[in-house]
Structure 1
Amino acid sequence: MDDNYIDDEYHDLPRYRPVTEIGPGELVEALKSLAGFSGNTFLVMQAHQLGMVDNLLNALEDEVMRHQADDDPPRDKMALLGALSPMWIYAAYELQRTWRQRCEEVIKLADSGGLEFKAGHLERDLGYPHYDRELRAEQLRDAQQQPELVAQMRVDLRRTEMGFTTLEFIRVALAKHEVSKKGSKKPPIAFAPGLARRNRYCGSMEYEMSNGGTIIGTVARRDIAESIRSIPEAENPGDDTLASFRAYMDLPDVDPFAKDGS
């Protein structure tokens, strides 16, 4: 190998910011920048919780990375990192899934002219205060009065689709021991659900994205966190880009015992 090859290979390696350069509130502010997110008190509360655990994991990952080659590495902290990382992934997924579901509902109601009816239904007297129903009705009223909010929801759903779909793929493998296959009644069995290794460049737990014997990539917990932090700068992908990504993620079933290849 010549020096140029080695230099090119080095520059192809993933880059991660030093933990000291990550603002403790970056992840929360990125989530709050999404259309309709900051207006929901409960989503914001959960975003702060997710951010707090992310900060904790960043510090833990950094410490493990710096001491992983020691004669006596911090095995207890390595084990804790392996246990907490999937929990954070589950929480990150559910928080974004909930926001996306709310946006999709608002868009559907706006398209059908049903915002007024749905808001009125949520506001009906139950005989006791129901805070989240009242909050959802308020957000529907906002969408009714601000068409630009609905338009921004459409854009934000597209801007975050690739990061969310990747997160969903990992979450399904970890939580359900299956390969993420939209619309499949019998998703393939995940190759090695929960198996992870430490990323040597940031110390984060890294998971394979696989279907049968095919590995389409690896994703570290830190990658997921950075994809969230980068939301404010994320561009709206073109139709061709999204179509290509969807085809890439919707892997053909490789189960040799599946009927009709499905």
Structure 2
Amino acid sequence: MSMLGGTIRLDSKKGKGSRFTVEISMQEAEEQLGYTSNTPVYHNNKFHDVVAIDNDEVLLLMLKEMYSQEGIHCDTCTDAAELMEMIRQKEYSLLLTDLNMPGINGFELLELLRSSNVGNSPTIPVVVATASGSCNKGELLAKGFAGCLFKPFSISELMEVSDRCAIKETPDGKPDFSALLSYGNEAVMLEKLMTETEKEMQTIREAATEKDLQKLDSLTHHLRSSWEVLRADQPLNVLYRLLHGDVLPDGEALSHAVTAVLDKGAEIIRLAEEERRKYEDG
């Protein structure tokens, strides 16, 4: 006990018994340990199916289990041909790929996806996982990846990146005005939203007609933060990834992405008008 810097004390009373008290000095912990729970604690935004590709089947099994704990289905594969066939048959919200695989690396896979016309391959968010020290996060994002994970990663890190990058919408697919309406006069806020959205959609329409990709990129970047508040930013994220790919976006894919943004803008205006009437009539 003395070697541990502690003491032991005996208190004894006849007819009652004895009590031994042991005291050992210990350093105060710098941080409090959490507890393990089997319930999902990190996954906040609902998204659907994920697909992962890696030549390491153990890692794929681990990913599948981690997503399963959060109530998310994850399909897995080990080669690009199999992946493309899976994307042809099913629309995924997110793709995870290893950076260094035999046959095709993560950069080559991303280029293949963006230049293909298979399912949602031109627009699906791609998160890259790597243990390599040759690339940093900024370099990977600049290449067109939606996010990155550095091995080994925890389930909380996986879900944080997945939640941020995956295609997701409100349950009914409609914009959510609740966060916006928590600031100031509801009718005034909705009127301002309608006016600004009309102007912005007209500007995007003009930039697309002029094929001004730089202007289109600037507008997309400007709108993403405000539409994220409305949980309506998915079409903008698709357009942003097209504009920031390694290759110039295909004309048809770009037109489709711009149309989706314009359609979402029209929906925001229409629903904001309906919501405003409720406050005026109320």
Higher helix share: 1
The normalised TM-score by structure 2 is 0.25
The normalised TM-score by structure 1 is 0.26
